[in-house]
Amino acid sequence: MRTNELFCIYGAGGHCKVIIEIIENIDKKIHSLFEDNPSKENLFGYNLTNDPAIFQLESVQWIIGIGNNLARKKIAEEHELHYGLAIDKTARVSRRAALGDGTVVMPGVTINSSTIIAAHCIVNTNSSVDHDCVLENYVHVSPNATLCGGVFVGEGTHLGAGAVVVPGINIGKWCTIGAGAVIIKDVPHYSTVVGNPGRIIKSEKQNEP
């Protein structure tokens, strides 16, 4: 990340508010926020715009400030921009971990050695991703969720608040893991899992872009 670059954020909802504060707290600058249908002129004093000319700005890093995984995928595929990283200064990220473009790491997060987190993921407040995990694009790890060592999480999967995944588990793409669920068995693609121990209550293919 070059220190002279500005950030722009796509979206202006609650998720964006946290990203703004992350960027402020690491002493970076925000140019403006893009919102398709802005209902106000600014957020926290930052300009809101729906002018597509903003996508032509040079030396700007983008973050998609939208919590919905499918929405982030659609936006990322539509707009080939220079995506940066937003990592809160209180997060503990191993120097041997790898994070993809557009990923956001919230306050209090721990990401341990040899973990790979791909593009446009959200690792939310106080969650923990242990060693040798792999998270594919557009994954969202919700607050206080715990991924033990060697967990694989497929594209677009959402892990609910406080969910726990035991070591070595494979979770498929575009799954929903309910809040507080405890995952002790592999989870196939497109599954919704709840409870302790986790049980599949629905398994159907979603409409992917």
Cβ-based neighbours of 85, under 8 Å, separated by 6 or more: 1, 99, 101, 102, 103, 104, 105
- The answer to whether the predicted template modeling score (pTM) of the entire model surpasses 0.75 is yes
Do 70 and 97 reside in the same domain of the chain?
no
Task: Give the CATH number of the domain where residue 21 resides.
Answer: 3.40.50.20
Asked whether residue 208 is assigned to any structural domain, the reply reads no
**36, 54, 78 - which closes a domain:** 78
Considering the domain architecture, whether residues 160 and 126 belong to the same structural domain is answered as yes
- Clarify whether residues 66 and 92 are in a common domain: no
CATH code (residue 191): 2.160.10.10
Range of the domain at 51: 6-78
Question: Could you read off the pLDDT of 29-46 as tens digits, one per residue?
Answer: 999 999 998 888 889 999
Write the pLDDT tens digit of every residue in 103-133: 999 999 999 999 999 999 999 999 999 999 9
Residues 192 and 105 in one domain: yes
Phi-psi group of 55: left, alpha or beta (phi > 0 → left; psi -120 to 50 → alpha; rest → beta):
alpha
The percent of residues in the chain predicted with pLDDT above 70, rounded, is 96
Rounded distance, CA 44 to CA 82, Å?
24
Query: Strands, DSSP E only, in 42-97?
Result: 42-43, 46-49, 60-64, 86-87, 92-93
The answer on 68 and 110 residing in a single domain is no
Confirm whether 161 is domain-assigned: yes
Q: Which of 40, 62, 78 is the last residue of a domain?
A: 78
Question: Quick one: what percent of the chain has pLDDT higher than 90?
Answer: 89
Tell me, yes or no, whether 124 and 174 share the same domain.
yes
Contact assessment for residue 181 and residue 163, using Cβ atoms and an 8 Å cutoff = yes
Q: How many domains does the chain have?
A: 2
What secondary structure letter does DSSP report for 143? T
Give yes or no: residues 42 and 110 share one domain: no
Residue 99 lies in a domain: yes
Q: Is residue 105 part of a domain?
A: yes
Structure tokens at 114: 């040899």
Q: Are 13 and 36 in contact (CB under 8 A)?
A: no
Catalytic positions: 131
For residues 65 and 5, the answer to whether their CB atoms sit within 8 Å is no
